[in-house]
Amino acid sequence: MNSAPLLELRGLSKRFGAVQALEGFDLDVQPGEFVTVVGPSGCGKSTLFNIVAGLDEPDAGGILRFKGRGCHARELLGQVSFMPQRDLLLPWRNVVDNAILANEIEGANRSQARAKALSMLPEFGLTGFENQYPHQLSGGMRQRVALMRTFLFERELMLLDEPFGALDALTRSMMQRWLLDVWQRHRRTILFITHDVDEAIFLGDRVVVMTARPGAVKLMREVNLPRPRAPELLTSPEFTAIKREVLDAIEEEAMKSFLTGTAAAP
């Protein structure tokens, strides 16, 4: 890819009181790329996401560029479609009305947004559930509604923060393949946080391993495995080779953070 990066982060730092969450973090994300981020717990992954989502301002000195233009983090509010770890569906809204929440906030016509959401239900495996409320859905379905809400908020950059973290292994691997499928059709740029190394390699064009706190880039690994990716890939020698490399890097950092006791809070 030789086009200009969609997102450029240079020397990004963030300190909360005595805690240096990020220090000198660098990353470029190309349009249409699927980048996964792994790291030991408490390595500042969520801080990174909060900055890119526009919720937190990085400390002075770092560079944040979006679509080739330098900007403050807060200018990214409403520009990036963000999906937090928990689905955070609103219990008083049914599936369709939860899915169109972001569109409603940007002032879209409600009935048009609903029609669009209805047409997307089959793709998200939610056909027939449009009028159900969150408490009537399983964990996997709730997660798909949250993903649908993220997809309907049509922004070039999507931030997914451990979207499948709470799901059981089987549902999780189904959701991963499904996400790749949807991503291949919609071709958005995705930045995806996970704890799961298999997931990071299986999904990503590139895996970013973060150091223990303060968070920086430990390893940047291209995943040159062919797409579409099938589950058999997980046991292939190419996959295993990448996995060993990534695991070694994580192991080193986890040891470091364990010894210095900074692994306390995620």
Closer to other proteins by CB, 39 or 84: give it.
84
Instruction: Answer for the pair 36, 194: CB distance below 8 angstroms, yes or no.
Output: yes
Cis before residue 266, ω within 30 degrees of 0?
A: no
Residues 53 to 72: which contact other proteins by CB under 8 A?
53-55
Binding mask 231-260 for other proteins (x = CB under 8 A): ------------------------------
* 123 in contact with other proteins (CB under 8 A): no
Place of tokens 């209805």: 118
Number of residues lying near other proteins (CB under 8 A)? 25
Instruction: Answer for the pair 239, 233: CB distance below 8 angstroms, yes or no.
Output: yes
Find the binder of other proteins among 39, 84, 204, 215 (CB under 8 A): 84
How far, rounded to the nearest angstrom, does the alpha carbon of residue 264 sit from its chain's CA centroid?
22
d(CA 223, CA 118): 35
Residues 127 to 166: which contact other proteins by CB under 8 A?
133-135, 153
d(CA 239, CA 165): 21
* 102 in contact with other proteins (CB under 8 A): yes
Cis before residue 228, ω within 30 degrees of 0?
A: yes
Find the binder of other proteins among 17, 91, 228, 237 (CB under 8 A): 91
Q: Which residues bind other proteins (CB under 8 A)?
A: 50, 53-55, 77-82, 84, 86, 88, 90-92, 101-102, 104-106, 133-135, 153
